[in-house]
Amino acid sequence: MKASHTLLLPIVIIILLASCKSQYRWDMICVEGGDFYIGSTDKNADIDEQNIQLVHVDDFYIGKYEITQAEWKNVMRANPSIFRGDNLPVECVSWDNAQFFIEKLNKRTGRHFRLPTPEEWEYAARGGKYANNHTYSGSDSLNEVGWTIANSGEKTHPVGLLKANALGLYDMTGNVQEWCDGRYDSLYYALDTLMNKEIAYKDIRIFKGGSWASYARHCRISNINYNSRELRNFTIGFRLAEDATTNNKNRRADGI
């Protein structure tokens, strides 16, 4: 009997190690940078979308999926979400909550994750260099790519179930809106030249993409939403981004 316990121990250790290893495989998509025109001439465009600006973004990585509740709990333990499920996107997290998650994740992994800038987010949602002028991220048919008020049943859904966009990114439209690493100033979008720089207002942050509770006009790629950095709402989550140079420098053989 004693010998059988000894034989089981290595097996248990192997299982635990495999489990821990899989928890840190953050799926990131490489986005080749470039120039693009931010904003929209759509008849439904809000005033802060209507001044078209030429924007440059550098190469970067962005999360293939929105951060799930399983990923959040693995780092933060407690789950703030209203809708519960390991593969559902985490929600009811403020911009500051997202930053604290990223800080802890970076300490644990040695990586340099961050939130995407609004410019990076929109460039990736459009498909980067494969952009095809879709209204939504990956399609002109909203139901193909996004969980919204029309098809969500008034709840979030597991990430990655609908069609991806040209870069292989899921749920950039719908499911949950996504915090970006940028402050909001309507004059910025109307008057300024955009070159990946921070916006003026101190405590107002941008989130994009629409959610399970959004109507079609608020799910358009160019649509801009904003609120207090302290807002926690069951329509808002986030996904990760990372500079291309730090991603390559810190990536390990095990995919962490």
pLDDT in tens, 146-171: 999 999 999 999 999 999 999 999 99
**DSSP-derived pairing of the beta strands 177-183 and 236-237:** parallel
For residue 28, the model assigns a pLDDT of 97
Cβ count near 128 (within 10 Å):
24
**Assigned domain for 183 exists:** yes
Does the residue 256 lie in any domain? Answer: no
Residue 187 inside a domain? The answer is: yes
Domain count, the chain: 1
**Is 255 inside a domain boundary?**
no
Whole-number pLDDT of residue 114: 98
d(CA 81, CA 51): 36
Task: Choose between 61 and 1: higher pLDDT.
Answer: 61
Whole-prediction pTM: 0.83
Overall size of the chain counted in residues = 256
CATH of residue 29's domain is 3.90.1580.10
pLDDT tens digits along 9-55: 343 333 333 332 334 457 999 999 999 998 888 888 888 888 788 99
Mean of per-residue pLDDT scores for the chain:
84
Output the pLDDT for position 44. Answer: 80
Q: Which helix or strand (DSSP H or E) is residue 177 part of? A: strand 177-183
Rounded CA separation 227/203 (Å): 8
- Collect all residues with Cβ–Cβ distance below 8 Å to 243 and sequence separation of at least 6: 58, 60, 61, 112, 114
Domain around 134: 2-250
Please state, in angstroms and rounded to a whole number, the distance separating the CA atoms of residues 95 and 106: 17
Domain assignment present for 195:
yes
CB–CB of 131/166 below 8 Å?
A: yes
Give the H/E segment covering residue 42: none
Cβ contacts of 61 within 8 Å, gap of 6 or more: 28, 29, 30, 31, 241, 242, 243, 244, 247
Pairing label, strands 241-243, 225-228? unpaired
